[in-house]
Structure 1
Amino acid sequence: MNKLDKILVRVQKPARYVGGEWNAVKKDWEQTSVKMVFAFPDVYEVGMSHLGLQILYHIVNKRKDALMERVFAPWVDMEKELRKEKMLLFSLESQRPLIDFDIIGFTLQYEMSFSNILNMLDLAGLPVRSAHRDASMPLVIAGGPCAFNPEPIADFIDLFVIGEGEEVINELLDAFRELRDQGVDRPTMLKQLAKIPGIYVPSLYTVQYNEDNTIAAVTPLHEDVPAKIGKRIVRDFDQVDFPTKPIVPTMGVVHDRVMVEVLRGCTRGCRFCQAGVLYRPVREKTPETLVRQVEEMINNTGHDEISLTSLSTADYTGVAPLVKNLLDIYGERGVNVSLPSLRLDAFSIDLAKEVQKVRKSGLTFAPEAGTQRLRDVINKNVTEQNLVDAVTSAFQNGWSAVKLYFMIGLPTETYEDLDGIANMAKKVVQIGYQCGVPKGRLKVTVSTSSFVPKAHTAFQWEPQNTLEELQEKQRYLKEKLRDKRISYNYHDSHTSFLEAVFAKGDRRLGAVLETAWTKGARFDGWSELFNYELWLEAFAQENIDPKWYAYREIPYEEVLPWDHLDAGVSKRFLMREHKKAMASSPTVDCRTGKCTGCGLCPTLEIKPTILGGADIEPIQGEI
């Protein structure tokens, strides 16, 4: 029995670490020039549910000259064993230590996974700070939504990919191979890679601060380094490479099904939503492409569920005929079709009935706020009547369980808005009874998350509610929703506070992150392992006040830590949206054909791809 086998019998879920799954790719190590490992800073079950991993794994492994393997954050039991046995963190496919690879690529999905990145680098036998690594060590790169404000982890990552990765990954691998073969040193390589559009090398920029701790400027250290880095975007989304032979996990994962991306981007313009900005413009795939991709994926995996994924799948132009077509083909084979969530104003009970022909589950709606005034503030263009109509249809057609998602702590929120949440939940209960749902079966679940201001949104200048305010609001709602027919769940406010600190943070937070990690911070997104007191100690030790980041209202003229990264949407547009929010004034959805002047289409020289939809003529320049 080798050392790994001995370890695996001592950990809870050994399947997390062995690989060998159906459709996993194991290439000849010696015959492959560039070796990359995709590092997901959370456990296997979470990482294997991430579509981005499957996409990049497919694209890189299609190349003759490159391979991509996988590694996930080891759970605490596995970490303990690795350290005890002095074993380095290894990949799943070849069980090789990460230090043997050319490139380690992290995905940044959630600020609360940052401590796991440092832990994984350390377990790999690497210095956590990029300045302490040399050319003999792997290049450490990162991408994903949190790369749009990467400053808190800038000291640990060699380069960031800003935007969509399908095309830039090949450009990066080509350039890396050429530079490595030329034998250039690490600083020269990074300077050359920074010339690729969408690549941000933080070590090539310096940050100056004002006396009041605000940022004075983020400046390139060399003339040929761009002052602003624009995001990468896939122009032909219908024809872009997509994995129709995805890896099938050997254990239960969060999303254990075929995932096909029907569209990318969202035109809704909710003012709290970062993804709605980062993934603009909307690009829809044709039904023909989707049906072909689904067929190949079902044949290559054996999954019994098809998930039509996107930020707003119900907005897909042909969603109803697509669902009907897929169910006509696969329904008799026991294959279910699921939509990730249903918008109230796009809700069709006929669609829901189609979707749940094979297996019926509860329905989930996200009104986000309890009053129309606050929904107008956040630009959530749905009404209470939309909710009433949707749940009435659902209850009349045999559903008995409904989940409602809201956000608390939104800008301008009052207790009247919280009362609106409670009243809405009670109204849904009454509608259920009126529609004849038996008392024992009716179930309404209310879930609230706490508002976190995010970079590149209209609310990026807003403060977060204090911990005390959030906790008081949670207590207030708990009391208001004291009803055996209503379940109330809420997100931990301490986690939301730290998320806000890092979402709005700058480079000075790197020292706090490193200190917290050395004190034992791991899996901060997991309630059983999150240690808030440890983080407070780290902030105190580094003499940094986290409240300054989370609770401060930022003036428009202040330089933001992420101003040198361009998501395509103009700052002027975000300011205008913020002012409209404060006036409770909604903005139309540009899917209607009226351009809102966000600046993205002229800046990136692209137009939305909406099948048979209104042609949106972008307003030139910023307005």
Structure 2
Amino acid sequence: MDKSVLEEILRQVSKPVRYMGNEYNMVEKDPSKVLIRFAFAFPDVYEVGMSHLGMKILYHLMNEREDTYCERVFAPWTDMEQKMREKGLPLFALETRDPIAQFDFVGFTLQYEMCYTNVINMLDLAGIPLRWWERGKNHPFIIAGGPCAYNVEPLADFFDLVVMGDGEEVINELLDAYRQWKIQGGTREDFLVAAAQIPGVYVPRFYDVEYNDDGTVRSIKPNREGIPSVIQKRVVKDLDKAYYPETMIVPYMDIVHDRVMLEVFRGCTRGCRFCQAGIIYRPVRERSVSRLMDLAAKLISNTGYEELSLSSLSTSDYSDLENLVKQLMERFGPQKVSFSLPSLRIDSFSRELIEEMIKVRKAGLTFAPEAGTQRLRDVINKGVTEEDLLNSVRQAFELGWDTVKLYFMIGLPTETQEDLEGIADLARKVKQCYFDVTGGQRSRRLRITVSAASFVPKPFTPFQWVAQDPVERLNQKLDFLKDKLRIKSVEFDWHDPRLSFLEAVFARGDRRLGKVLLKAWKMGCKFDGWAEHFKYDAWLKAFDDTGMDPKFYANRARSREEVLPWSHIDVGVTPSFLWREYQKALKGELTPDCRERCWGCGITRLGGGLCQ
């Protein structure tokens, strides 16, 4: 690649720092002295990808190997892509600016269904054949991981292999197998056969899918001997012993989460029935306070950051949180290091804890009631009450907050008009709470943002069998809320239901959708999660041109007997448990936090953390 041409076009694009590399703590190696080159690919822009904790962990983990050089690559923004195509520049890694087509692996993390066309676009921009059967021995192996990889079927044509579960548990085994194959020689398929023997590694081409006349899946079976019929995810059992980087790259530009990220625990015990992450990341595994304090000291020292985020799905559920925060404040408060809890639950809002944390800096507050009535909150097993919400916002207002955000979903199973009205009622009660606390003294400063997203049924949740509301119905519900939320000091924003519709299609899709993705990409669909680039009409035409009905995937209820496209994947939680939870949801019955007792979800088979 002509790097002088790259220097020239960097002067002509927005945010050129996205493509420059050379950040503080970037790993530098001599590529000629390593056996394995791995491009960690994030199918979105730099500032989104550089906020991803999984990339930070695996980047430094792989680079601790003497035989491996892991570099980063992100989706170039449209202006940069145009210049690269005009000048014939292939997609390159930030560290060396070498084309990623020359690497041994290109590994994509799949965090969001609406990034799928970016995966295809990045492969094309790299000059790598798009589908697995078009690649030869001199092409890199294309890998997937991340939460969306648990149903990778819509992308099965494009990936050589997929990692299920905690990447740091699998990656060294995979690289060891590749090292042996590369030294000994053999066909491309020889390596894939060896990789398929590693627990947690899925090779889509080694499985055949048959369909019934009605379009549903009939069976998913291995097409060769020695390939497991079920792929079980891998689990890091002890986070204290698991790898975690003691340094992180410090970008030259603002990124979405521009701070040190300290993962306090992994998994969730709450059991919200809409939440995929709460299922696929089980069991709960905590890091000890002593280990977290050691990591915090090294990360702050090695990066210079003055803000640290305590990261998890529900940080306020950490068993020793108050002690951790107290120690962090005592140790780093004098250095003016601030701390944020990005995932506070309404029923875990501790005034004493928050008072301790805001001594340095006050962050924004977001509360997620999810639903407008207690009946619907019980259906989704949210486990919080209106009283919990009002107590939390009251304490926040007493501590000086004037701005809060309330997050809801519309289109949840069994939702009624009364549930929608409850959203506006809660907004009014929060506003009244503010006036009760302040006596109206700060009324001009009050901002309550009500945010609504459309429910998307996800695999491996109790709601994986339900139908999503049609787009037209979701729009009617939004119009109703727009009218009801015309309240002074209350702002309403919402997620485009058309995007949620496509998200549902690909979340529960099968392999036949690969041709839709390819067609949509050829029609210019990319950066679909960005409103200014979303081409809904093009997507609908892609479905029409390929003879596929998106409503079959999004708006259709499934029976318990139906073979789901992800039925050959085992995340530890059993389908029978998920079905029981679905039936309890329809009755409005709660399943309490599994820290209180075991509800038999099946994850104990994998062990680790609270389920040892």
TM range (shorter): over 0.9
Q: Alpha-carbon deviation of 1:515?
A: 0.4
For the residues of structure 1 that align with 2:358 and 2:296, how far apart are their CA atoms?
Answer: 18
1:496 to 494, 500, 503: 500
2:561 to 557, 567, 575: 557
Contact 2:272 2:382 survives alignment (8 Å)? yes
Contact 2:238 2:608 survives alignment (8 Å)? no
- The corresponding residue for 1:212 is 214
Q: Alpha-carbon deviation of 1:167?
A: 2.0
Is the aligned partner of 1:595 residue 2:598? yes
Q: Alpha-carbon deviation of 1:56?
A: 0.3
Is the aligned partner of 1:474 residue 2:475? no
Contact 1:458 1:577 survives alignment (8 Å)? yes
- The corresponding residue for 1:248 is 250
For the residues of structure 1 that align with 2:296 and 2:363, how far apart are their CA atoms?
Answer: 22
Bigger CA drift: 358-367 or 414-423?
A: 358-367
Q: How does 1:32-181 map to 2 (within 5 A)?
A: 32-181=34-183
For the residues of structure 2 that align with 1:490 and 1:47, how far apart are their CA atoms?
Answer: 24
Alignment-mate amino acid for residue 585 of structure 1: E
Q: Alpha-carbon deviation of 1:66?
A: 0.7
For the residues of structure 2 that align with 1:170 and 1:315, how far apart are their CA atoms?
Answer: 31
For the residues of structure 1 that align with 2:348 and 2:73, how far apart are their CA atoms?
Answer: 39
Q: How many residues matched?
A: 608
Q: Alpha-carbon deviation of 1:361?
A: 3.0
Q: Alpha-carbon deviation of 1:341?
A: 2.3
For the residues of structure 2 that align with 1:526 and 1:263, how far apart are their CA atoms?
Answer: 31
Alignment-mate amino acid for residue 466 of structure 1: P
Q: Alpha-carbon deviation of 1:215?
A: 0.4
- The corresponding residue for 1:461 is 465
1:365 to 327, 344, 367: 367
For the residues of structure 1 that align with 2:380 and 2:490, how far apart are their CA atoms?
Answer: 26
For the residues of structure 1 that align with 2:238 and 2:295, how far apart are their CA atoms?
Answer: 16
- The corresponding residue for 1:227 is 229
For the residues of structure 1 that align with 2:455 and 2:351, how far apart are their CA atoms?
Answer: 30
Is the aligned partner of 1:266 residue 2:268? yes
For the residues of structure 1 that align with 2:10 and 2:446, how far apart are their CA atoms?
Answer: 44
Computed over aligned residues only, the root mean square deviation of the Cα atoms, in angstroms, reads: 1.0
For the residues of structure 1 that align with 2:587 and 2:487, how far apart are their CA atoms?
Answer: 35
For the residues of structure 2 that align with 1:354 and 1:122, how far apart are their CA atoms?
Answer: 51
Q: Alpha-carbon deviation of 1:362?
A: 2.9
Percent identical pairs in the alignment equals 55
For the residues of structure 1 that align with 2:224 and 2:346, how far apart are their CA atoms?
Answer: 51
- State the SS of the aligned residue for 1:435: helix
- The corresponding residue for 2:239 is 237
Q: Alpha-carbon deviation of 1:607?
A: 4.3
- The corresponding residue for 2:543 is 539
Alignment-mate amino acid for residue 600 of structure 1: I
For the residues of structure 1 that align with 2:132 and 2:358, how far apart are their CA atoms?
Answer: 50
Contact 1:257 1:303 survives alignment (8 Å)? yes
For the residues of structure 1 that align with 2:396 and 2:252, how far apart are their CA atoms?
Answer: 35
Superposed CA deviations along residues 233-264 of structure 1, whole A, max 9, x for unmatched, are 00111121101111111111000000000000
Q: How does 1:379-394 map to 2 (within 5 A)?
A: 379-394=381-396
Higher-helix-fraction structure: 2
- The corresponding residue for 1:505 is 509
Contact 1:362 1:400 survives alignment (8 Å)? no
For the residues of structure 2 that align with 1:237 and 1:353, how far apart are their CA atoms?
Answer: 29
2:420 to 411, 418, 421: 418
Question: Which runs of 5 or more residues in structure 1 are unaligned?
Answer: 610-615, 618-623
Superposed CA deviations along residues 397-423 of structure 1, whole A, max 9, x for unmatched, are 221111111111000000100111100
- State the SS of the aligned residue for 1:2: helix
Superposed CA deviations along residues 266-312 of structure 1, whole A, max 9, x for unmatched, are 00000000000111000110000000000000000000100000000
Give the TM-score taking structure 2 as reference length: 0.98
For the residues of structure 2 that align with 1:287 and 1:103, how far apart are their CA atoms?
Answer: 36
Contact 1:339 1:355 survives alignment (8 Å)? no
Q: Alpha-carbon deviation of 1:505?
A: 0.3
Superposed CA deviations along residues 456-513 of structure 1, whole A, max 9, x for unmatched, are 0000001111101111111111110101210111001111000000001000000000
Bigger CA drift: 462-471 or 356-365?
A: 356-365
Alignment-mate amino acid for residue 33 of structure 2: Q
2:576 to 572, 579, 593: 572
For the residues of structure 2 that align with 1:608 and 1:96, how far apart are their CA atoms?
Answer: 41
Give the TM-score taking structure 1 as reference length: 0.97
For the residues of structure 2 that align with 1:608 and 1:286, how far apart are their CA atoms?
Answer: 11
For the residues of structure 2 that align with 1:341 and 1:160, how far apart are their CA atoms?
Answer: 29
Contact 1:39 1:107 survives alignment (8 Å)? yes
- State the SS of the aligned residue for 2:234: coil
- State the SS of the aligned residue for 1:23: coil
Contact 2:265 2:284 survives alignment (8 Å)? yes
Contact 2:454 2:500 survives alignment (8 Å)? yes
Contact 2:248 2:303 survives alignment (8 Å)? yes
Question: Which runs of 5 or more residues in structure 2 are unaligned?
Answer: none
Bigger CA drift: 431-440 or 19-28?
A: 431-440
Is the aligned partner of 1:585 residue 2:603? no
Contact 2:238 2:609 survives alignment (8 Å)? no
Q: Alpha-carbon deviation of 1:442?
A: 1.4
- State the SS of the aligned residue for 1:366: strand
- State the SS of the aligned residue for 2:256: coil
For the residues of structure 1 that align with 2:398 and 2:124, how far apart are their CA atoms?
Answer: 56
- The corresponding residue for 2:197 is 195
For the residues of structure 2 that align with 1:74 and 1:45, how far apart are their CA atoms?
Answer: 11
For the residues of structure 2 that align with 1:351 and 1:409, how far apart are their CA atoms?
Answer: 35
- The corresponding residue for 1:442 is 446
Is the aligned partner of 1:518 residue 2:518? no
Contact 2:235 2:608 survives alignment (8 Å)? no
- The corresponding residue for 1:608 is 609
